[in-house]
Amino acid sequence: MKPSTNLVGHTGTTRKHALKFGFKEKCPPGTVLIKRVTKEDLIKAKNQTRRLNPYYDIKYKMRQNDHFSFMSFYPKDGQVFHGASASMEVIEVDGVSGTQSSGASIMIAKNVLGGKPISVIQFGWEINYHNYGDNITRFIISWLSGGSQNTGCENMNCPGYIQLSHGTTPGTIIPQGDIELSVSLDKNTGNWFLHFVDNDNEVLGYFPKELFNNLADADNVQMGGSVNSNYEEPSPKMGTGYLPSDSRSITAAKFNRVRLANQNDMWIPPYRKIDKIYMYNDLNKTYYDIKELLDDGTEGYSFAYGGPGGWTQQPI
């Protein structure tokens, strides 16, 4: 299956410095990669260290011992989002222990501000020894559908996300570099398609509309970094381990070419005159921080995030 429509202004590219990932040997035509789910996978999924929730309640996330530096975008009153896209730097974060995780992601959601069940799609990269048994950077996806059942899943650990790529699947190892990904709504089917923009907008897979009880559109997009660690253990590095500092933040990790698909299915950069833009950082800025960057004409709307970590929290 492919999207029945293409959003205006986002046809996909193959940049010279674009990161390539996935298996070199592709599946034969008409077949896709399928991961064999083991009992161990199901146990890990049930006890995964990073729970999927939008970062709208800092106190709640603190109790989960997650820490984050995120940009949050809301459309103007009466408007909605139909997609989100950005190029994110993939970092081989060093020093992440077996009880910690560190990564970056894009999240598109509905009903984040409460009142109704939350639905979320998330994708990006992470290092998570608990989930994978190593400290290698991997491509990850997650989804959540709120309501009485409150269902959700990470990667391919349960039915939900439909794999379409012949060579790239959730859990795939990603080398350090830049990767541009997007998710967009196909209004004709109601499905949300995940694209590898740098690879001629390859369709990696899709999230069927039947997964969600209220994701016919979105009212929030979040992008940035997050980490997790056990209580009484210093939090790990986020991004490169450097804090955003100057107008271009050369050393800090970055999201570039941030674009949002509006309800007219056009990809546009965020603008404060059009969108409500907030920066969320749950700890003192000596640990992690986030900062909008000046547009130098090449990378579009960008921001830098991350920091050295080292925060230790006692059990509540």
pLDDT number for residue 35: 56
Q: What is the pLDDT of residues 117-159, one digit of tens each?
A: 788 999 999 999 888 888 899 999 999 887 655 677 888 887 7
Q: How confident is the model at residue 52 (pLDDT cuts 50, 70, 90)?
A: very low
More confident residue, 34 or 235: 235
pLDDT number for residue 112: 79
pLDDT number for residue 230: 85
Q: What is the pLDDT of residues 56-111, one digit of tens each?
A: 544 444 446 789 999 999 998 889 999 999 999 999 999 998 889 999 999 999 98
Residue 51 has pLDDT above 60, yes or no: no
SS3 of the chain: the string is CCCCCCCECCCCCCCCCCCCCCCCCCCCCCCCCCCCCCHHHHHHHHCCCCCCCCCCCHHHHHHCCEEEEEEEEEECCCCCEEEEEEEEEECCCCCCCCCCEEEEEEEEEECCCCCCCCEEEEEEEEEEHHHHCCCCCEEEEEEEECCCCCEEEECCCCCCCEECCCCCCCCCECCCEEEEEEEEECCCCCCEEEEECCCCCEEEEEECHHHCCCCCCECEEEEEEEEECCCCCCCCCECCCCCCCCCCCCCCEEEEEEEEEECCCEEECCCCCCEEEEEEECCCCCCCEEEECCCCCCCCCCEEEEECCCCCCCCC
More confident residue, 286 or 115: 286
